[in-house]
Structure 1
Amino acid sequence: MSTPKLYAGLKLREIRTNLGLTQKAFAGKLGVSLPYLNQMENNHRPVSAGVVLALAREFRLDVTELSTDDAERIVSDMREALADPVFGPAAPPIADLRLAASNAPALARAFLDLHRAYRRTHERLASLDEALDTKDATLRPSPWEEVRDFFHYCDNYIDAVDRAAEHFASPAGRPGDPMRAAQEALAHQGVTFTRADGPWLRYFDPDTKQLTLSSRAPGSTQRFQALHQVALLAQNELLEATLDLARFQTAEARAIAKIGLANYFAGAALMPYRLFMAAAQETRHDLERLADRFGASIEQVAHRLSTLQRPGAKGIPFFFVRVDQAGTITKRHSATRLQFARFGGACPLWNVHRAFETPGRFLRQLAETPDGVRYLCLAREVSKPAGSFRAPVRRYSIGLGCEVQHAGALVYADDLDLTRSFEPIGISCRICERPDCHQRSVPPLERRLSVDPGKRGILPYEIGG
């Protein structure tokens, strides 16, 4: 499988501008001609290996900063949007989408916002939703979608919050007791702390300044919720400044995002960046050992692994996803080339769906997406009991994975034959190009169909070009 070419013209221009160099001076330091640099900055040529080495040598640049992960996210989202029948059968070639995502990302995001507004309006009309009476409501994403996209395009890494949490949990760079640190921080805010057998995981009374945590919740949940309250009280100024920069369109989106940022702080304080990364490398990303070492849950550890994207100190790029029993994606993030569908569920061939059949066990899968990229995928069912006989048990399946070239750094790959055939998976049936998938639920919107009443194979139609 050939290595994809790296087009990073926007990043090259940004580096040159930050250094205050002219194109001529920059080209001289990189050892290329002025026309060649101009072509790279306009994405007419890929960034060569020689230029990557020169950037690292001359400017000590972390070359992972040239990664096109953000552009690939935009390309994936645009492909899914353009599969909508409203655009007709002739979708733009993938090369055009990559040029738009690399050269005009703001325009590409505006297109995605426009399509999302159209889709919401169309769905409301189809269901006779009376929200059409509110003119502005149909032109905005839902607050939940707006927040989801905020974290999605931040690579699920919020530097200022992550560093603040790390300093809080390990100011001297050594492991500490996060629960004790949380109690001390809350006491400094005048908050009393107690546990009780109540209906809430966490309840804070602002009048009495009393924080109550559920005594029935696991220790990992109690620690996380205490740190969440620390974020809301002791780190409120930082959270509000981050929200100001995000420029959310509604008060509801801002409120949801604040909860997300407080959750981010809690996870980063429970598993401080440098200590957690060192432990992940030492244990070869053994989720159970990491959970035991940091007093966290398996889900918290998997999610934290997917956020290790600090510039200059990046971990393995993972994807992380959580699905419910209906197959609906409830959490999603990818620092890899694999991107999740914005609408609908995940591919049914993915092992994340089979994890419900084997509770408490890790499932492993070697998978290949239609673009030829191969992954090592882990999946595990996680249950969240409420602590009593009549309380409902919430069941999810979490998935964690990385591209197969990183598999050697994971303990889960030790006895796998990475040269054998990989199982085909896709993003969603709507945009999957595989013509012979036995689990396909709907036809691909980008391909023509041939229907012959006299023939029946796995599907009642054949997929053409």
Structure 2
Amino acid sequence: MQKTFVGTRLRELREERAMSQVELARLLGISPSYLNQIEHNSRPLTVPVLLRITEAFGVDAGFFAAHDVTRLIAEVREVLSDGTIGLKVPDADAAQLAEQLPQTAHALIALHRRYRQANERLAALTGERGPEPVGPAAPAPMPDEEVRDFFYQRQNYVAELDEAAERLATKIGLTPSRMPAVLVDRLAYHGVRVHIREPEVGQAAPARGGDARGEGREAGGREAGGRDAGREAGGREASLDIDELHRFDPDTQVLTLSSHLRPGQRVFRMALQLAFTEFDELVTRLADDGMLSGPPARTLTRIGLANYFAAALILPYNVFHATAERFRYDVERLSEHFGMGFETICHRLSTLQRPRARGVPFSFIRVDRAGNMSKRQSATGFHFSRAGGTCPLWNVYEALAAPGRIHTQIATMPDGRSYFWIARTVSRGYGRYGRPGKTFAIALGCELRHASRLVYSTGLNLDDPAAAVPIGIGCKVCERVGCAQRAFPQIGRVLALDENRGTFAPYPADVHA
């Protein structure tokens, strides 16, 4: 058996439960000195002790798996490879820092992020003319980055919300065919009326997605708002601006939905409102626990948590997980079965990490035609670079060139880990000629060892190394030598430049430097 050292994680788990070493040692049936050795990585974890820990704390064995720190190691390596810092740290030291001192590693990453943001703000303010001072304090992190990190650090699973949503779905008898009527009734129970309304000026509103952190589709049953609120209090009709899909008025307690939303999209927005109406205290507590920088980040996090709850309510964990396993994670089949859109299903699949009932651990991304990554969540060791963009060899970009069909890819990272990816485009229009819509590529990936559980791996030779495409985490930090698609030289690496020599791969690296 490979030796497993879990000192830091075990110590954190014990401290979370406010237990002393003596108390935990007694619970596990070992001596305090033996436990102290385990916590200081002087002794490896044995199988019998692991089983007692999982039983005592209600975690599964995967809690201590070595691959849990893969992302952290990659992030530390990215920080230490920043050429502007002027440090050369061996990869082995970066791995040791992430494995043995994860909190220190996170602090290092946070400090580097502040440093990078300060440089970016300086360049924006000075037009890259020079180091003009902009004040002594580093700028606050961008709110959207804080929200991404909030979910990223939780591996895209929020147990309290997921469990609360599932309990509510069972309590109110929420099924795909009855969702609109049941949600209208539940909102009415809290004094909220649902109203369907055309947008102002007689123009068509955008038929965009239901943002279950994704788009929606028809979800069987009669239209939401069958108990239409009609007019708001005082006789004033509810109205929506051209770009509004929904609006809630706290004074009149009326939730107005655009008539251009499809039934599945309306269902999601009613579930979203229910999160704020019935579970606002829980949403607030979770957001406050995130140690966010200010009101914008806190508001965005609350919206993200409410979206998470809405998806968990209309796609309850146990039912959705069992169906996903039965369908072998066929996204289009799941979309048809639950009446939700491709993106919504993909995003929900990326959250199935409940202990003792885990689904395939997926990473989820959404990119636009320019390569901007507007959504990224991960329950795997896959690391998303914060610098240098993403890899052009990734099949998520191939999907944009051939919209509407699913693309598969076996991809290998520079650290040797292999992943299986599927990608497809989703589009959202305004419902009228002449108004530009949106097109995104959605990608869902898992470690290659899980690929056989997916219907998309049927007929593929998952064991053939030649079938894997070598990709990286971004040109500026990718250590691959000789990549023909490289757009930028790797930060910190010396180039082998020669006026008398040309190479197929741009920016050839000096492998001897």
TM-score calculated relative to the size of structure 2: 0.82
Q: Is the 8 A contact 1:173 1:275 kept in 2?
A: no
Q: Which has the larger radius of gyration?
A: 2
Match for residue 459 of structure 1? 505
Question: Cα offset for 1:51?
Answer: 4.7
SS in 2 for 1:208: coil
Report the number of matched residues.
459
Matched, 1:323 2:324: no
The equivalent of 2:190 in structure 1 is 189
Amino acid corresponding to residue 125 of structure 2 in structure 1: L
Pair 1:83 & 2:81 matched: yes
Shift of 1:149: 1.1
**CA deviation string 1:22-53 (max 9, x = no partner):** 399469847x9956x55542245654556545
Could you tell me how far 1:218 is from its partner in structure 2?
3.0
Residue of structure 2 in register with 1:64 after alignment: 62
Deviations 1:346-395 (A, max 9, x none): 21001000101221110011111111111111000110112222332100
The correspondence for 2:276, drawn from 229, 232, 245, is: 232
Deviation at 1:308, TM superposition (A): 1.0
Q: How much does 1:303 deviate?
A: 0.6
CA-CA distance at 1:190 after TM superposition? 1.9
Q: 1:231 to 1:344 in 2, by over 3 A?
A: farther
Amino acid aligned to 1:442: F
Distance 1:62 1:71 in 2: 16
Tell me which residue corresponds to 1:124. Answer: 121
Distance (Å, rounded) in 2 between the aligned partners of 1:206 and 1:54: 50
Amino acid corresponding to residue 157 of structure 1 in structure 2: Y
2-side partners of 1:94 and 1:38: how far apart?
A: 28
Alignment of 1:97-108 (within 5 A): 97-108=94-105
Q: Deviations over 1:283-330 (max 9, x none)?
A: 111111111222211101111111111223222111111101101111
Q: CA distance change for structure 1 residues 348 and 328 in 2, over 3 Å: closer, same or farther?
A: same
CA distance in 2, matches of 1:251, 1:64: 36
Structure 1 residue 180 corresponds to structure 2 residue 178? no
TM-score of the superposition, structure 1-length normalised?
A: 0.90
Distance 1:7 1:72, change over 3 A: farther
Note if contact 2:387-2:477 (Cα within 8 Å) is conserved in structure 1.
Answer: no
1:78-227 pair list within 5 angstroms: 78-88=76-86, 90=88, 92-128=89-125, 136=137, 138-171=138-171, 175=175, 177-198=178-199, 199=242, 200-227=244-271
Determine the C-alpha separation between the residues in 1 that align with 2:505 and 2:410.
Answer: 25
Q: 1:24 to 1:249 in 2, by over 3 A?
A: closer
Letter in 1 for 2:103: A
Partner of 1:449: 495
SS of 1:242's partner is helix
The whole-number CA distance in structure 1 between the counterparts of 2:310 and 2:63 is: 26
User: Larger deviation: 296-305 or 234-243?
Assistant: 234-243
C-alpha change, 1:224 and 1:343, in structure 2 (3 Å) is farther
For the residues of structure 1 that align with 2:286 and 2:402, how far apart are their CA atoms?
41
SS of residue in 2 equivalent to 1:213: strand
Q: Secondary structure at the match of 2:355?
A: coil
Alpha-carbon RMSD across the aligned residues, in angstroms, is: 2.8
Give the % identical residues. 40
- Give the Cα–Cα distance (whole angstroms) in 2 for the partners of residues 188 and 28 of structure 1: 48
3-state secondary structure, aligned to 2:490: coil
* Counterpart mapping for 1:340-379 below 5 A: 340-379=384-423
Distance 1:85 1:289, change over 3 A: same
Q: 1:439 aligns with which of 485, 488, 503?
A: 485
Instruction: Name the aligned partner's letter for residue 191 of structure 2.
Output: G
The structure-2 alpha-carbon separation of the partners of 1:233 and 1:186, relative to structure 1 and needing over 3 Å to count, comes to same
Quote the offset at 1:344 in angstroms.
4.2
More divergent stretch after superposition (150-159 vs 163-172): 163-172
CA shift in 2, pair 1:117/1:409, >3 Å:
same
SS in 1 for 2:354: coil
Give the counterpart of 2:438 among 385, 391, 394.
394
Name which of structure 1's ranges 47-56 and 354-363 shifts more when overlaid on structure 2.
Answer: 47-56
User: CA, structure 1 residues 204+461, in 2 after alignment: closer, same or farther (shift >3 Å)?
Assistant: closer
Kept in 1: contact 2:411–2:421 (CA 8 A):
yes
Q: Deviations over 1:93-147 (max 9, x none)?
A: 23322332233333222222221121122122223259965654x3421222222
Partner Cα separation in structure 2 for residue 210 and residue 169 of structure 1: 22
Counterpart for residue 11 of structure 1: 9
Q: 1:39 to 1:94 in 2, by over 3 A?
A: farther
Read off the aligned partner of 1:185 and give its amino acid letter: R
213-222 or 342-351: bigger deviation: 213-222
User: In structure 2, what is the Cα distance between the partners aligned to 1:351 and 1:454?
Assistant: 35
Measured in 2, the distance between the counterparts of 1:430 and 1:305 equals: 31
- The Cα offsets for residues 217-268 of structure 1, whole Å up to 9 and x where unpaired, read as 2333222112111112222111112122223220111111111111111111
Letter of the 1:80 partner, please give it: E
Give unpaired runs (5+ residues) of structure 1: none
Residue 275 (str. 1) matches residue 275 (str. 2): no
Is it true that 1:291 corresponds to 2:335 in the alignment?
Answer: yes
Residue 123 of structure 1 aligns to which amino acid in structure 2? E
